[in-house]
Structure formats: structure tokens, C-alpha cells
Amino acid sequence: MSVLRGIGKIPGQIASWLGERFELEDSVLAVLRHPVPRELERPVGWWYVFGSATLAVFVVQVATGVGLAMTYVPAPNSAYDSLQFISHDATLGAVVRGIHYFGAGAMVVLVLIHMTQVYLFGAFKFPREANWLSGSLLLLAVLAMAFTGQLLRWDQDAFWSIVVAAEQAAQAPLIGDWLAHLVVAGANVGGATLTRFYATHVFLIPAATFGLIGIHLYLVVKRGISEPPVAGVGVDRRTYRRRYEEILGRGIPFWPDAAWRDAAISAVVVVIVVVLAALIGAPALGRAPDPTVVIADPRPDWYFLGYFALLALIPPATEAIVIIGLPLLAFVFLFLVPIFWPDGERHWSRRPVAIAAVALPFIAYASLTVAGLQSPWVPLLEGANLPTSVTAGLEPQAARGAQLFTAKSCWACHQIDGSGGRKGPDLSHVAARLTRERLVARIAGGGGGMPAFAGSLAPQELDDLTTFLFTRK
Amino acid sequence: MSPLDRRTFLSRITVALSVFIAGLVGVPILGNLLAPLFRAPPDGFVEVAKVADFALGVTKLVSIRDQSPLAWAGQTADTALWVRRREDAGPQMFQVFNVNCTHLGCPVNWQASAKIFLCPCHGGVYYADGTVAGGPPPRPLFEREWQVSGDRLLVRQQPLPTVKQG
């Protein structure tokens, strides 16, 4: 028995030996036990967990990323095959890829929740401005990771996304050409492009992220966790530090009094990510990338869909400005927030403008995301077919017209009874609102975004087509 | 001028040496990274196909291959082009279009029956001759220089971005 008891003591002895040799009591443990405001014991403490949850998912991303890099081949002639292998043949490969995919979405969501909480709690104010600035750079890093990661999927849509990215970058004033060449690493998307994106995604941005996380955490500990705001009690730069020291005097140690909530939320988030990965999995790969196949629908993952929709919906003339200008403006504004408003009221209930500054972009972006999901501006290029409910019982001439409706690509942009593209007006009841003459003039002469079909429709065909459309009352 | 004390001198030497080390290593790394920016863009003509492969009045998708691709470039060494045969011979014989939409660069699709190019991204539409028929494109499809050499059609190579070229 005493032998067993002796063996049972060994882990504790190793721990105390390590603790003594590394002087952990004075370093790591002292940092972990740094005092935080006592209010964090109350339910309001649940608002302070999102930074840690983001960090937890970041660790998950690093681990799964290393796992994927063991198999992924970052060469244009092999990347797609290696991803197919990961997704279908490698043991648990699909799950690891799924975790990495949902982890990326979780990073974007958690970083935004974290920033929103910090902003609404006024925690970015004096003396924590630098926390906010380093956090803004981390947001940039997270978005850059999300973007470069999507392109590593290297299917047809990813390939064309790089082309589109280069073309968009080229629209930037002055440095446009330079940027475009930097994006594709040469004159065209080619052998050098994918390895650059890969190195950027797995070395460059993660290295910067590690450094920024170090700075961010250093500042979190050095400046201390902000006390929950109290309406009417603002930040006064002359007295704040003294007041905060008093708060910490009655504080509680971060470890374990506050840390357990971070662990709890992190566990919930990681469980969600893993369950989604196991049940749904990462998005299926599209067609193999082939620049000589022009069927492509390059669209980003869901968190960038709003921006994608915005570019589709604004007047084309403003695009060159909006493409680069809007993100730039957003980040410059983000950086200026603690510089412009370093003191004063912290509580969100006394900062209606701050609430609007959060709510309006969120509502706008959510609406744009819905628009991006529906993408009514996208013409349908494949699967042209009218339902039998439309074509059944048509006179011979109208039936010929119905065939022309799909053959001449009318279907690509116009819907009839729910079938067809939505770029142009719905033609389900077009005869009820246009005269036959107007209809003919519109098809032949185009206008308002519609091409003129006079050159590609014979008079008889035009007559057939209008006869068909005139059955749509 | 105050004399330099020993510690200030040593501090400056230390910083200077560190900067020197960074520069020594940084110059070749940066040079290697930025090299693609300064490489001459591809120019000159490459062969597309036999002239006889293009029927009069037909618009056809073809691809050209980068003349000196990296060994691992795979399909990315290929570039697609739309070739339209307008006439039997002469300077109006061909129109060679970049597949990239002039709006944001997505690949346009030729709808042979409707005789229009359709862009799948935002619904840009062009007529057979590349002029804008509708949608957001600000200008006609970009055309490439071509020449006929013997019985072959050649086109000029071109770098991205296509949006800055005419």
C-alpha cells in the first residue's frame, strides 16, 4: 500500500519540482492569478468570455491547420487531388477539414462579438486604447486568414476568385497594377500563385497573429480587465487609474475565479464546431480548376457574402472606389475609435450613437448577406427548362416560342412561374402589363439592361416568342 | 559636442549591428519575394490553332498555353480565349476576346443560339462583336492582337489584370 501511495505522490512531486525550477509561482501563476474586478463573479462575467473563446478556436485552427498541411499539396497540379484525398479517403480527414472550416466561421463570429462587447461596454477607452488597436489588427488578420483559406480550396470557383481578386485589386488607384501582380505573384495566375497564398496562409499571417496575440494578452494583463460599466460613471483620465487600483484591491484572482467561465464557453464553442464538422462537414469541392472551362460562379463563404452582394448592387461607376475604399474606411474608423473617444461615458445605455454605430452596420450587412444568398443578379447558365405547367397545352406556335425562350437564353434572366433567372423582370404575367407592340420592341431593341435580340432572332422566331409570352396573362 | 560615453557607444553599435543583420538577410528575401513584380510581362505571339479550325460566323472557346510554365503549374498554364471568325480573310478575319468580363474579371459564356456573351457573376451581357449589350460592364470585351502565320492563328500573350488594358 505504501508503495502505491508513494507512486501516487509522483505527479505532485514532478509538478512541484518543475514549479520550483521554473519559478512558475512568480511568473506564469502570478500572471494567471492577476486580480480582476469582483463584479466578474456576477452574471455580467459571462460577457467577458469571448476573447478567450476566440483564442481557444484559434488554437483549434492551428492544430487542424497543421493536420491539413501534412497532406495538402500546395501546387496547382496537385492541390485539388490532395484535397479530394483529405475529404474522401484520409482517415478522419473530412472531420479535420470540417473543423478547420467551421472554426474559421467561428473565429469571424467570435471576434465580432468580442469587439461589439468591448465597444458597447466602453472597454476600449483610456487606458486600454492600445488593446483595441491590437485587437483591430487581429480582426484584420482573421479576415485575411478567412480569405486566403477559401482560395486554398483550389477548385474552379477558388481559381476564378483569385482572378476576380486580382482584377479588383487592379482597380485601386496608383498601386492597382502592382497589387494585382502581387496577388497572383506574376503576370498571370500560374504556378507561383498558389504557393504564395499557401505560404501567406500558413506562415506569414499566423506569425503576425501569434505576435499580435502576444501583444494583446500582454496588454490585457498589464492594463487589467475593465470593470463592468456603470451608467453615469465615466472615464476621467486624471482619476481613472487610481479608481481602478481600488477596484482591483477588492478584486478576485482571474485563475480560477473568472477563468472557469472562459473554459466553459470555449468548450461550448469547440463542441459546436466539432459537431458541425462531423454532421455537416466542410463544403464539397467544386469542379477541378480549369482556366479553359468558363463555367464558374466564384462566390465567397458566407461571412463575405454581404460584401460580395454590395459589389453587385452598387452602381458600377462607384465600384473602383467602394472595392478598396469601403474596407479601408471601415478599418481607419475602427482604429480611430479609441483616439476620438478615449474618455467619458462607458455604459451603452447612455451612448445611443454607439448603439446605432453597432446596430446599423449589423442590420445592413445582414440584409446584404441575405441578398448575397439569393443573388438575384446572377443569370442562370445551366439547366434551362420550363415547367410542364407552363408548356402544357400550348398552340404549336406558342410551343415553338416556349422552346425559343430557353434556347435564346431568355430563361437565364427571366422567370416564368418560378423557373428561370431573376436578373430581369418576372414574365409570368407579362401579357397583362405590356402590349404586343411594346413586347416586340423590347425584345428586338433591348434597353434598360436588356440586350437587343433583333440580330439573333429571325422575324418568324420573334413572332413565335411573343406569341408564347402573350399566353402569360 | 559632448563626447560619446562608453555605454551610449556600445548601445549604438549593438543597434547598428542588428539593423545590419536584418538588412543583410532581408535584401535577398525581399528581392526574391518581389521579383515577380519586376519581371517583364509575357509578350509575343503564341499559336492557337489552325485557321481552318474556325468556321465562318462561329465563336469558339480556345486555350493557349504559357510558353514557359513552372513544372507544377498544371492547368493554370492555360488561358482561355473566345475566337470569332468574321470573314474568310483579311484584317477583319478574326476577333479574339479575353474571356474576362470587363466588369470584375469573371469568365463570360458564349450563348451560341442567342448570340450573346453572358457573365455568370453579375449578369454582364455582350453582343457577338464584344460590345456591351447590358448589365454592369463599363466597356466592351478586351480584344487581343492576332496574326495569321501560314495556316495558323497566333495571338499575343498578355498579363493580368485585363481591366487596365485596351
Query: Are the C-beta atoms of A189 and A166 separated by less than 8 Å?
Result: yes
Amino acid identity of A266?
Answer: S
Angstrom distance (rounded) from CA A12 to CA A17: 9
Instruction: Give yes or no for residue A243 having a pLDDT over 90.
Output: yes
Angstrom distance (rounded) from CA A206 to CA A146: 12
State the residue range of the domain holding A368.
Answer: 37-374
Smallest Cα–Cα separation from B108: which of A271, A294, A105? A294
Instruction: Give yes or no for residue A187 having a pLDDT over 50.
Output: yes
Smallest Cα–Cα separation from A108: which of A69, A68, A153, A147? A147
Share of chain B above pLDDT 90, in %: 58
Nearest-CA distance B140 → chain A (Å): 13
Amino acid identity of B60?
Answer: K
Residue A130 domain flag: yes
Sheet with B59-65, strands from edge to edge, namely: B59-65, B78-85, B94-98
The answer to whether B129 faces chain A, any CB pair under 8 Å, is no
Count how many pairs of residues, chain A against chain B, have C-beta atoms within 8 Å.
187
Same domain, B88 and B17: no
Angstrom distance (rounded) from CA A352 to CA A330: 20
Optimal mutation site among B121, B132, B156, B164, interface A, most CBs of chain A within 10 A: B121
Nearest-CA distance B70 → chain A (Å): 5
Query: Are the C-beta atoms of A64 and A99 separated by less than 8 Å?
Result: yes
Q: What is the mean pLDDT of residues A307-318?
A: 83
- 3-state DSSP call for residue A317? helix
Whether residue A256 is preceded by a cis peptide bond, meaning omega within 30 degrees of 0, is yes
Same domain, B59 and B89: yes
Question: Where does A224-258 have alpha helices with state H?
Answer: 240-249
pLDDT of residue B166: 39
Whether residue A327 is preceded by a cis peptide bond, meaning omega within 30 degrees of 0, is no
CB contact under 8 A, A186 and B116: no
Same domain, B54 and B85: yes
Provide the domain count of chain A.
3
Nearest CA in chain B to A403: B113
Instruction: Give yes or no for residue A134 having a pLDDT over 80.
Output: yes
The answer to whether B67 faces chain A, any CB pair under 8 Å, is no
Same domain, A295 and A156: yes
A160 contacts on B by Cβ (under 8 Å): 106-107
Nearest-CA distance A301 → chain B (Å): 15
Smallest Cα–Cα separation from B92: which of B138, B143, B164? B143
Angstrom distance (rounded) from CA A99 to CA A429: 47
The answer to whether B84 faces chain A, any CB pair under 8 Å, is no
pLDDT band at B161 (very low <50, low <70, confident <90, very high): low
Share of chain A above pLDDT 90, in %: 66
Nearest-CA distance A96 → chain B (Å): 26
B70 contacts on A by Cβ (under 8 Å): 190-192
How far does Cα A315 stand from its chain's mean position? 24
Same domain, A209 and A244: yes
pLDDT band at B69 (very low <50, low <70, confident <90, very high): confident
Residue A94 domain flag: yes
Angstrom distance (rounded) from CA A18 to CA A341: 46
pLDDT of residue A214: 98
* SS3 letters across B114-162: CCEEECCCCCCEEECCCCEEECCCCCCCCECCEEEECCEEEEECCCCCH
Which of B73, B120, B160 is facing A296, going by the closest CB pair? B120
User: A413-458: per-residue pLDDT in tens?
Assistant: 999 998 898 888 999 999 898 898 999 999 998 887 788 998 889 9
Same domain, B25 and B75: no
Of A343, A374, A405, the last residue of a domain is A374
Instruction: Give yes or no for residue A298 having a pLDDT over 90.
Output: no
Which of A189, A377, A452 is facing B76, going by the closest CB pair? A189
Query: In this structure, what DSSP letter does residue A437 have?
Result: H
CATH of the domain at A445: 1.10.760.10
Which of B61, B69, B121 is facing A190, going by the closest CB pair? B69
State the residue range of the domain holding B51.
Answer: 45-164
pLDDT of residue A73: 96
The answer to whether B128 faces chain A, any CB pair under 8 Å, is yes
Angstrom distance (rounded) from CA B68 to CA B101: 26
Same domain, A323 and A464: no
Provide the domain count of chain B.
2
B99 contacts on A by Cβ (under 8 Å): 294
Instruction: Give yes or no for residue B163 having a pLDDT over 80.
Output: no
Residue A256 domain flag: yes
CATH of the domain at B84: 2.102.10.10
pLDDT band at A376 (very low <50, low <70, confident <90, very high): confident
Nearest CA in chain B to A407: B113
Instruction: Give yes or no for residue A172 having a pLDDT over 90.
Output: no
Name the average pLDDT for chain A. 92
In terms of pLDDT, which residue wins out, A448 or A155? Answer: A155
Which of A189, A294, A407 is facing B107, going by the closest CB pair? A294
Q: Which of A76-85, A196-205, B47-56, B59-68 has the lowest mean pLDDT?
A: B59-68
User: B100-134: per-residue pLDDT in tens?
Assistant: 998 888 899 999 888 999 998 888 899 999 999 98
Of A340, A374, A408, the last residue of a domain is A374
Residue A456 domain flag: yes
Q: C-alpha cell of A331?
A: 478599418
The secondary element (H helix, E strand) that includes residue A399 is helix A396-407
In terms of pLDDT, which residue wins out, A318 or A459? Answer: A459
Q: Which of A3-17, A320-334, A345-359 has the lowest mean pLDDT?
A: A320-334
Q: Which residue has the cell 434597353?
A: A447
User: A207-234: per-residue pLDDT in tens?
Assistant: 999 999 999 999 999 999 999 999 999 9
Sheet with B116-118, strands from edge to edge, namely: B109-111, B116-118, B125-127, B132-134
Same domain, A154 and A181: yes
User: B37-54: per-residue pLDDT in tens?
Assistant: 787 777 889 999 999 999
pLDDT of residue A145: 97
Instruction: Give yes or no for residue A32 having a pLDDT over 70.
Output: yes
pLDDT of residue A141: 97
pLDDT of residue A91: 95
pLDDT of residue A385: 85
Smallest Cα–Cα separation from A463: which of A404, A390, A393, A410? A404
Same domain, B53 and B135: yes
CATH of the domain at A238: 1.20.810.10
Instruction: Give yes or no for residue A324 having a pLDDT over 70.
Output: yes
Q: Which of A58-62, A270-274, A457-461 has the lowest mean pLDDT?
A: A457-461
pLDDT of residue B9: 94
Which of A171, A190, A413 is facing B73, going by the closest CB pair? A190
Which of B66, B75, B162 is facing A289, going by the closest CB pair? B75
pLDDT of residue B162: 60
Q: Which residue has the cell 407592340?
A: A437
Q: Which residues of A252-291 are buried (b: 16+ CB within 10 A; e: fewer)?
A: bebbebbbebbeebbeebbeebbebbeeebbeebbebbbb
Of A347, A374, A401, the last residue of a domain is A374
